[in-house]
Structure 1
């Protein structure tokens, strides 16, 4: 579980599928009101407070982006707390419930994004991937890492699991979105990144 502060009232949490499976949660459970998900959200908010000082008091807007290859990105935005609500002897009792007054929206994405610390490792991955991919991939430099961006249409039918396996072996799933890459990253290769890398860089012996 990785937590990043996006602003005073907004954080982003990246959950891998391992994070979910360790807690006995399936991807489909994330938009259901079940105790396991409630416990996970409590854990996320505790960790967010401890790591980045995010106070989850008040109504929260929660956006969940399901990324099939990487896991889930959860964007939590804190709304304005209504100080008139619950005024009276039970005000303190009402506060815990307020923390979980959530509005949840979900989006599915088939985009594949993996980051690489070392360009030499990316070269190796590209050569392994090339037989599976024809003309595929965009390459960005973002936060000191090389980020490879693949769309589902770049992959031949049935090759998806094999491609993910290679990417997971050489790189690391990242929670950054294509929109963030385009806005804050530097586009190094706009198309056919796999082919361009393989044509210009040899594998290490």
Structure 2
């Protein structure tokens, strides 16, 4: 799934709350906006369900029609594979 953020601060707030136990997170920049690409391994999730993740995502981000193909072709990958964890490391208060 891919979601769009109005500003980087919204993304940082989400990263503080969303601790993936099983998945991949990539952060992209495209046309002045930030996009989080999540790949969840739902069968390996124990602490959070898919619905929990979706509820958090809907509070801090927006649905988007931008696809992974568009991001990989025209976007700039800022963080790869562990974007949420890296964001907590570098931007935690």
TM-score under structure 2 normalisation?
A: 0.87
2:3 paired residue among 106, 114, 126:
114
- Verify the 8 A CA contact 2:5 2:35 in the aligned structure 1: yes
Distance 1:183 1:156 in 2: 30
Structure 1 residue 168 and structure 2 residue 58: aligned? yes
- Verify the 8 A CA contact 2:5 2:60 in the aligned structure 1: yes
Partner-residue secondary structure (3-state), 2:24: coil
1:159 — aligned with what? 49
TM-score under structure 1 normalisation?
A: 0.41
1:1-205 equivalences under 5 Å are 112-130=1-19, 133-134=20-21, 136-153=24-41, 156=45, 159-203=49-93
Point out the structure with the larger helix share. Answer: 2
Distance 2:83 2:35 in 1: 11
Structure 2: segments with no counterpart, 5+ residues: none
Moved over 4 A (4+): none
1:36 — aligned with what? none
Q: CA deviation at 1:143?
A: 1.4
Q: CA deviation at 1:190?
A: 1.3
- Across the two proteins, how many residue pairs are aligned to each other? 90
Q: What are the Cα deviations for residues 40-66 of structure 1, in whole angstroms up to 9, with x where unaligned?
A: xxxxxxxxxxxxxxxxxxxxxxxxxxx
Partner-residue secondary structure (3-state), 1:151: strand
Structure 1: segments with no counterpart, 5+ residues: 1-111
